[in-house]
């Protein structure tokens, strides 16, 4: 039963984050790591319950039940609607994968993704248990109050981070202070042909962190000039999204 609930949650997260087009059954099955027939059984039940609906052009998208349950539309839909055009323009400019994330109960949750047109791409997990393991998660941790960070530390044993040389919470806190000061986090751990790099910048609303804009790309494209271009454009886009959120 727990496994079924986990798969249900993963499907909901995946479909809600990929709102630009219906999600195909084979893609959902690949994301879950199960056969299409096994995935079809879960999806069929979700359609019957209204969590998903079949799209006319094939595939699945969110049904009416999630909106009815929260009574205020999709989860943080105002962020998605505000950020979407800016994120699309950013991806056209730098031609790398980008996303908007937030966190819920200490977990990193993807609200919106936009993919580049490049042939070589790497997948990004939609929900990550440990915020310390992603650049976007570290930006969120860097903006927590001292009390919030202490609560996070109390339930999350230190188990590594995007900074391999850091081995303690005290050292990690120093890194978070640097992220807060610089307004950007870099994840440079990826090596080799299958490696990936990432960076993340904060998006504010009325001076408070509202969400985080992230970009990830293969290590083979991680030359200094390209990274600087990505960082500059991500900063500019985050500023534009922040201004648009302030105007709501």
Three-state secondary structure call for residue 160:
coil
Cα–Cα distance measured from residue 112 to residue 104, given in angstroms and rounded to the nearest whole number: 15
> What DSSP character marks residue 131?
G
- Indicate if 186 and 91 belong to the same structural domain: yes
Q: How does pLDDT run across 91-130, given as a tens digit for each residue?
A: 999 999 999 998 876 778 788 889 888 765 555 554 455 8
Expressed as residue numbers, the domain containing 35 is 2-70
Residue 69: burial class (beta carbons within 10 Å; 0-12, 13-18, 19+): exposed
Rg (the chain; Cα; Å): 18
Contact 37, 58 (CB under 8 A): no
Give the pLDDT band of residue 39 (cuts 50, 70, 90).
Answer: very high
Q: What is the pLDDT of residue 72?
A: 47
Which CATH number fits the domain that encloses residue 219?
3.30.450.40
As given in the structure block, the two tokens for residue 130 are 């440990």
Contact 201, 238 (CB under 8 A): yes
Q: Is the pTM of this model over 0.75?
A: no
Which of 13, 47, 70 is at the close of a domain? 70
The total domain count for the chain is 2
Cα–Cα distance measured from residue 18 to residue 126, given in angstroms and rounded to the nearest whole number: 10
- Indicate if 95 and 113 belong to the same structural domain: yes
Cα–Cα distance measured from residue 177 to residue 139, given in angstroms and rounded to the nearest whole number: 10
- Indicate if 41 and 150 belong to the same structural domain: no
- Indicate if 162 and 191 belong to the same structural domain: yes
Contact 78, 40 (CB under 8 A): no
> What DSSP character marks residue 134?
S
Q: How does pLDDT run across 190-230, given as a tens digit for each residue?
A: 766 567 899 999 999 999 999 999 999 988 888 999 999 99
Give the pLDDT band of residue 73 (cuts 50, 70, 90).
Answer: very low
């Amino acid at each position: 039963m727990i496994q079924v609930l986990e798969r249900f949650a993963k499907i909901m997260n995946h479909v809600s984050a990929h709102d630009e087009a219906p999600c195909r059954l084979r893609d959902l099955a690949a994301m879950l790591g199960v056969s299409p027939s096994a995935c079809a059984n879960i999806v069929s039940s979700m359609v019957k319950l209204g969590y998903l609906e079949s799209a006319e052009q094939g595939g699945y998208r969110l049904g009416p039940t999630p909106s009815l349950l929260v009574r205020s539309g999709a989860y943080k839909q105002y962020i998605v609607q505000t950020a979407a055009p800016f994120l699309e323009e950013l991806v056209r400019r730098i031609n790398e994968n980008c996303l908007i994330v937030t966190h819920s109960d200490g977990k990193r949750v993807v609200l919106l993704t936009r993919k580049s047109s490049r042939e070589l791409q790497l997948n990004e997990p939609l929900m990550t248990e440990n915020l310390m393991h992603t650049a976007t998660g570290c930006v969120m941790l860097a903006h927590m109050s001292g009390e919030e960070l202490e609560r996070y530390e109390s339930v999350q044993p230190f188990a590594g981070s995007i900074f391999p040389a850091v081995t303690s919470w005290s050292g990690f806190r120093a890194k978070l202070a640097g992220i807060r000061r610089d307004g950007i986090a870099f994840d440079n751990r990826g090596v080799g042909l299958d490696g990936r790099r990432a960076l993340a910048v904060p998006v504010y609303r009325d001076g408070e962190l509202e969400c985080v804009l992230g970009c990830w790309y293969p290590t083979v494209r991680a030359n200094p000039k390209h990274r600087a271009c990505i960082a500059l454009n991500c900063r500019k886009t985050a500023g534009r999204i922040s201004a648009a959120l302030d105007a709501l």
